[in-house]
Amino acid sequence: MAKKGFLEGYETYDTSDGFGSAKKWQNSFKDRMTKEDATHILKDSKDTPHVILGIFPNATPELIKKAFRRKIREWHPDRNPHRLIEADEQSRKIIAAYTVLTS
DSSP 83-99: GHHHHHHHHHHHHHHHH
Whole-structure pTM value: 0.70
Tens of pLDDT, residue by residue over 8-51, are 665 655 556 666 666 776 676 666 788 899 999 999 889 999 99
Give SS3 for 41. Answer: helix
- What is the structure's pLDDT at 54? 96
| 2, part of any domain | no
Residue-range definition of the domain harbouring residue 37? 31-102
What phi, psi does 56 have (nearest 5°)?
A: -80, 155
pLDDT digits (tens, 9 = 90+) for 47-85: 999 999 999 999 999 999 999 999 999 998 889 889 999
- How many distinct structural domains can be found in the chain? 1
89 part of a folded domain: yes
pLDDT at 2: 60
Distances from the Cα of 12 to the Cα of 3, 6, 7, 96, angstroms: 19, 12, 8, 32
Using CB atoms within 10 Å of the CB of residue 8, give its burial: 0 to 12 exposed, 13 to 18 middle, 19+ buried. exposed
User: What's the CATH code of the domain at 91?
Assistant: 1.10.287.110
Quick check: 81 and 20 in contact, CB under 8 A? no
Residue 55 falls inside a structural domain: yes
Which helix or strand (DSSP H or E) is residue 63 part of?
A: helix 61-75
- Does residue 14 fall inside a structural domain? no
